[in-house]
Structure 1
Amino acid sequence: MIDLQRIAALIPGQWERVIATVLLLAAGFVVSQLWARYLGRGDVPAERRRLQLVWARNIIWSVVLFAIASVWASTIAGFALSLAAVAGAMLIVSKELLLCVLGYLYLTFVRPFKIGDVIEIGPVHGRVIDIDMLATTLAEHGDTGLPTGKTAALPNALLLTLPLKNTSSTGDFVLHFLRIPVPVALAGDLARIEAAATEAAVAATKEWQAQAEAHLRQIADESFIELPSGRIRVFWDFADPERLLLCVRLACPEKMRLQVGQDIFKATWQALAAHGPVQRPDPS
């Protein structure tokens, strides 16, 4: 009697619903058993008998669960309202925290980058050194591509809102775009400047050029995407009216991008200086 009183104290005013729930569950069990026995006595094929048994059982228990939900409707509605209010308050208070967790899930399943990759997200550029549930930490790189000695911790929520660039997505060899500014005053001898840059790029990349081209072809075949061949290409960017940009596209090891760029820049202008001053356009 003492135990019954304690149980009654836990669910005051709900005994009628508890009894109705027990009776509904018992009725569902009894009807399911009776239907199974009825099917067992007939001459129905086993496959069809199993189909009818599953079909009838699903209907019976769907009706039972609907009846139980109707009995407890008011209680369930009150609980759901309270739960929704609590969930809404937590969402408002911890929106940024939730976005960081969602960003981590995105990173886990999509895997746009991994530890060691060099990425750009928003204004930050650097190598990934740590990833946790709330933030991604980068060793920051400056405009020259060299590490600055600083680290940047980016909330994972930024992965859902800002564009992300992974400059290490092609593995051992990456495509590097070198831009060499050329004053407009020297536009009279563009062919000579272009030839010097091409020769410098060939000399700087001859050790791995064939290997890089084969690597990029393999990546393209495995990923079913079209990648540039990796061959050296030189072209001009004349969007800025005050200067020209000589653009050199080449393939090189990811960690040697800065060194290769410096070598090509110096070799280009040294070759031009060795052959005399670059011709200036005739003002007339």
Structure 2
Amino acid sequence: MAFTRATGKHRGPSRLSRKSAGVASVAAIATTGVIGTLASPAFAAEAEVSAPVEDTGLTQAVAVDSLAQQIDAQAEAQQQEAALVAAQEKAEAEAKHKAELRVKAARDAAERAAREAERKRLMTYTLPVAGSYVSTDYHAGGAQWSSGSHTGVDFHAASGTEVVAVGMGTVVEAGWGGAYGNNVVLRMHDGTYTQYGHLSSISVSVGQQVTPGQQIGLSGSTGNSSGPHLHFEARTGEDYGSDIDPVSYLRSHGVRV
């Protein structure tokens, strides 16, 4: 069997055909992105912007660190504020305590001064009749006294004049005393005794504590008396006959007679 073929000449592609095919191949490669690295800078930038960013967790870590820093800063600020408040409260408490100590010290000083003043007052002596004077001296002689002499002194005093204790003491006798009439006897704080006679009335009772200048009765003319006055005696003991000079006694205790 005979084979036949089409008429005409068969020959290879011309140079122009090969060149055209090469250009077409380059264009195809560019179109498929194989030579994307040869693209312009602007095209590369657009590609980077449009490309999605892979989530690596770094952004979340930065956010957590920032929040932790804010919390730490707030905590530090609160601690500083608390320390400032505590310091202020401490300063106020110390100032208050110092003020209280000053007030207490002033109060204690005032109380000590008052006690000292009271002590001095209780240790002081005074005249038995304020503003009076001695009308009959100690040991003056006369028949009106059983011993033959005056065992005390007489202070001038109208009837009903206030008679006071010359110093601090305790009442050991308060009532009728025979020739002394209504009388009061005091045991003084130093162990001596004082007597107040011819009283019209008595204001104290036995066992009572008296202070300097405290009223113990009113002057009069009861008992062996020639007229209103106060008979005053000072004694070393409670019994009659232990008398001492009343004027010297009062002067030894700072009383001007």
Q: TM-score range by the shorter chain?
A: under 0.3
TM norm structure 2: 0.25
Of Structure 1 and Structure 2, the greater helix share is in: 1
Q: Which has the larger radius of gyration?
A: 2
